[in-house]
């Protein structure tokens, strides 16, 4: 329905606002999280100090906790609006392994059409659904690390406090991978950036 209504912006204001608030919160969380990890690393490496935020453990925790509330509140707003408007179902589904393989192959051959900016292809659908689920894992494992005693069931589901730390770290790594790929894809089709920045209704320049 909304997919063909060209009188509406390609991304409604609440998607644009929540997307950039989310990106802002995620970048702060990653940079401050790296500083927190460096204070007690559980892998045989630390992360480059120049890329971290907070200066020291206490400062990094303050940044992390502040951005955590922004991410959670904004994420709930995004999910509620997406579910309530029916946009989640219409924009991201259906998605099947077969369609993802077909679109990935077409993309590698340079044959994937970007003619309709109102429609996500199957690779985009999978990538964005992955980002949403990964963020959910980050929030749930983060809750265990934040209030371990208050969430005993969740803590046990995630294999205990120490295992939840590993889950949180691996989910962060996967999100960093998503962001890198996402930024490359946007750079390859730059007009999509305009649709995420303004209420423009066409988004086509190809």
Q: Which residues of the chain form contacts with ligand HEM (CB under 6 A)?
A: 15, 19, 22-23, 26-27, 91, 117, 124, 128, 131-132, 179, 182-183, 186, 192-193, 195-196
Q: Annotate 46-68 with b (16+ C-beta within 10 A) or e (fewer).
A: ebeeeebbbeeeeebbebbeebb
* Shortest spacing between CB 153 and ligand HEM, in angstroms: 27
* Shortest spacing between CB 116 and ligand HEM, in angstroms: 10
Nearer to ligand HEM, 148 or 196 (CB): 196
* Shortest spacing between CB 150 and ligand HEM, in angstroms: 27
Listing DSSP states for 9-27 in one string gives -SS-HHHHHHHHHHHHHHH
Nearer to ligand HEM, 155 or 203 (CB): 203
Helix axes 122-146, 97-108, angle to 10 degrees: 110
State how far the Cα of 116 lies from the Cα of 192, in Å rounded to an integer: 11
State how far the Cα of 139 lies from the Cα of 188, in Å rounded to an integer: 30
> Would you say 118 and 4 are in contact if contact means Cβ atoms under 8 Å apart?
yes
Nearer to ligand HEM, 77 or 128 (CB): 128
Which residues contact residue 17 at a Cβ distance below 8 angstroms, ignoring those fewer than 6 apart? Answer: none
Whether cis (ω within 30° of 0) applies to the bond prior to 35 is: no
Nearer to ligand HEM, 155 or 195 (CB): 195
* Shortest spacing between CB 46 and ligand HEM, in angstroms: 22
Nearer to ligand HEM, 87 or 155 (CB): 87
* Shortest spacing between CB 26 and ligand HEM, in angstroms: 4
């Amino acid at each position: 329905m909304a997919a063909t209504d060209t009188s509406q912006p390609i991304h409604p204001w609440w998607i644009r606002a929540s997307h950039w608030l989310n990106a802002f919160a995620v970048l702060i969380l990653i940079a401050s999280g790296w500083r927190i990890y460096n204070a007690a690393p559980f892998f045989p490496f630390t992360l480059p100090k120049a890329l971290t935020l907070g200066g020291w453990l206490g400062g990094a925790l303050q940044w992390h906790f502040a951005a955590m509330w922004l991410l959670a509140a904004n994420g709930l707003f995004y999910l509620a609006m997406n579910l309530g408007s029916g946009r989640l179902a219409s924009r991201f589904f259906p998605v099947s392994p077969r369609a993802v393989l077909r679109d990935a192959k077409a993309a590698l051959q340079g044959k994937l059409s970007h003619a309709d900016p109102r429609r996500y292809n199957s690779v985009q659908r999978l990538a964005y659904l992955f980002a949403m689920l990964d963020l959910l894992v980050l929030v749930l494992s983060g809750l265990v690390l934040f209030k371990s005693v208050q969430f005993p069931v969740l803590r046990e589901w995630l294999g205990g406090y120490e295992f939840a730390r590993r889950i949180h770290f691996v989910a962060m790594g996967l999100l960093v991978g998503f962001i890198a790929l996402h930024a490359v894809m946007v750079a390859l089709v730059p007009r999509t950036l305009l649709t995420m920045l303004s209420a423009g209704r066409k988004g086509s320049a190809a």
